Amino acid sequence: MIIDFFEAASRFCNRVARFVLIVAGAIMAVVIVLQVFFRFFVKIPLPWSEELARYLMIWIGMMGASLALSEGRHIGVTVMMERLRGRVRQVLMIGATLAVFWFLWIVVREGGQVAWINYTQLSPAMMIPMLAPYAAIPVGGVFMLVQVVRKLLLILRDPHSSISL
């Protein structure tokens, strides 16, 4: 069934996101500590460390947003939704979910175009293709789209559920 596919896709996206978060966070922590050490003790700052930390932070933000969406941890105003019941609540949840889907679709489409346009450009300090940092936008957007479709299917299956975006 389609819900099973999106449940499996959601679990896969969550595993990948957690892995990226752990690895990127660890690398960023080491790089920043090295930067502080080299800047203040060796007196020769690493020219590439701030750039790498910035690009890792972009990936952390996008993967973290996907994981937060999966777990319903994004901030939201729920006062009105908590007071509604039945069909009205379901219709509003479907509308909100479709609005988020539309927004993420634009993020993926436009982010993919920006990444593709800049794939030959090199970063100033590390001289890596700018595709690497820009790819976080469409990849994270696709991960979030998977989570949104899963939530939409769950809302349609059980209108009385307390699923949140």
For 151, half-sphere exposure in the C-beta direction (CA atoms, 13 angstrom radius) is 26
| Domain presence at residue 24 | yes
Q: What is the pLDDT of residues 43-99, one digit of tens each?
A: 999 999 999 999 999 999 999 999 999 998 887 767 777 777 778 888 888 999 999
pLDDT for the residue 49: 95
Q: Which residues contact 11 (CB under 8 A, 6 or more apart)?
A: none
| Contact partners, residue 126, CB within 8 Å, separation at least 6 | 48, 51, 52
DSSP structural state of residue 40: I
Domain annotation covers residue 162:
no
In a domain, 164, yes or no: no
Residue 163 lies in a domain: no
Please check whether residue 142 lies inside any domain of the structure: yes
102-143 pLDDT tens trace: 999 999 999 999 999 999 999 999 999 999 999 999 999 999
Residue 134, pLDDT score: 97
Residue 165: inside a domain: no
**In the predicted structure, residue 24 carries a pLDDT above the cut 80:** yes
> pTM for this one?
0.91
Domain assignment of residue 139, yes or no: yes
Evaluate if residue 151 carries a pLDDT over 80. Answer: yes
Q: How confident is the model at residue 35 (pLDDT cuts 50, 70, 90)?
A: very high
Give yes or no for a contact between 145 and 101, defined as CB atoms under 8 angstroms apart.
yes
Domain limits for position 38: 2-157
Number of domains in the chain: 1
**28 within some domain:** yes
pLDDT value at residue 162: 67
